[in-house]
Structure 1
Amino acid sequence: MYRSLFPRDLFAEMDRLQREMQQVFDQSPGIRGVGRGGYPALNVGGTPQSVEVYAFAPGLDPASIDVNLDRGVLTLAGERKEALPKSDEKVTVHANERFNGRFRRVVSLPDDIDPNAVSAKYTDGVLHISIQRRAAAQPRRIQVQ
């Protein structure tokens, strides 16, 4: 009777369930939904001269994106309008997977950035923000005499 109520190895079964649950949460973003981070998806990286932020937000009006830099915190905010017809029309929606509504993303930046040397450019649905590092923080070669 003991074998019919419980699997042969209860701990192995628990381990399998834990792996399956972890796979659900570890899946990368796909065409059917938003990834772990929210909207817009961000890539953040840096070089010795700058910090580079890429926000993937196709279909937005660049004027509707609010970019702020305050005390080392970069904030991206805005709103994506709904693309579906108005509700007063007789329309049947079969799928609505595109994000719409207000969004806000916040990124903490390193201490060595120069808040006066920031550029933002929106091209082909990608917002590229480049923040230069302070000249004093950049590596330099010192000539030995």
Structure 2
Amino acid sequence: MYRSLFPRDMFAEMDRLQREMQQAFDLSPTIRGFGRNGFPALNVGGTPQTVEIYAFAPGIDPSTVEVNLDRGLLTIAGERKSPLPQADANAAIHINERFEGAFRRMLTLPEDADPEAVEAKYRDGVLHITVQRRASAQPRRITIQ
């Protein structure tokens, strides 16, 4: 186990355990997002021309991240390696709150998303995915004759 339970840490551990239990059963949004704590954290929004997805994934090699779009389902998958040393007899890790391991996030895109016009860029720990909307779905003004 990574955490040591010194007497002074007991209340902090109880508080952490209570927060984790609340998050496991609570699906309402909080200041930190939804209780499920998915990695990477996502911001999704859009304009009339595009759907914009921001995945916050610092410390990940972009060549190891897979972005797939299949029948309106966008999948972001990869793995984050731990920068911490492997546990041995002389090393102890007291707190490790950074996510490590394999991850997969899936989003259903709107029907007007164009699967042929998707662009992904990774910069400063943020994966930015832009999905164009189909031109036929764009609002347009119709002239009256």
Secondary structure in 1 aligned to 2:63? helix
For residue 112 of structure 1, report the CA deviation from its aligned partner: 0.7
RMSD of Structure 2 on Structure 1 (CA): 2.2
Length-normalised TM-score, structure 2: 0.75
Which residue number in structure 1 is paired with residue 118 of structure 2? 118
Which residue number in structure 2 is paired with residue 67 of structure 1? 67
Secondary structure in 2 aligned to 1:29? coil
Consecutive unaligned residues in structure 2, runs of 5 or more = 1-21
Which residue number in structure 2 is paired with residue 4 of structure 1? none
Consecutive unaligned residues in structure 1, runs of 5 or more = 1-20
> 28, 31, 35: which one pairs with 1:28?
31
Length-normalised TM-score, structure 1: 0.75
For residue 29 of structure 1, report the CA deviation from its aligned partner: 2.1
**Cα-to-partner distance string for 1:66-95 (whole Å, 9 max, x where unaligned):** 000000000000000011112347211121
Q: Within 5 Å, give how 1:89-108 maps onto structure 2.
A: 90-108=90-108
**Cα-to-partner distance string for 1:11-37 (whole Å, 9 max, x where unaligned):** xxxxxxxxxx79x9454229xxx9534
Which residue number in structure 2 is paired with residue 3 of structure 1? none
Which residue number in structure 2 is paired with residue 79 of structure 1? 79
How many residues align structurally? 121
- d(CA) in 2 for partners of 1:59, 1:41: 13
Q: Give the % identical residues.
A: 64
**Cα-to-partner distance string for 1:116-142 (whole Å, 9 max, x where unaligned):** 100000111110000000000001112
- d(CA) in 2 for partners of 1:60, 1:119: 18
For residue 143 of structure 1, report the CA deviation from its aligned partner: 2.3
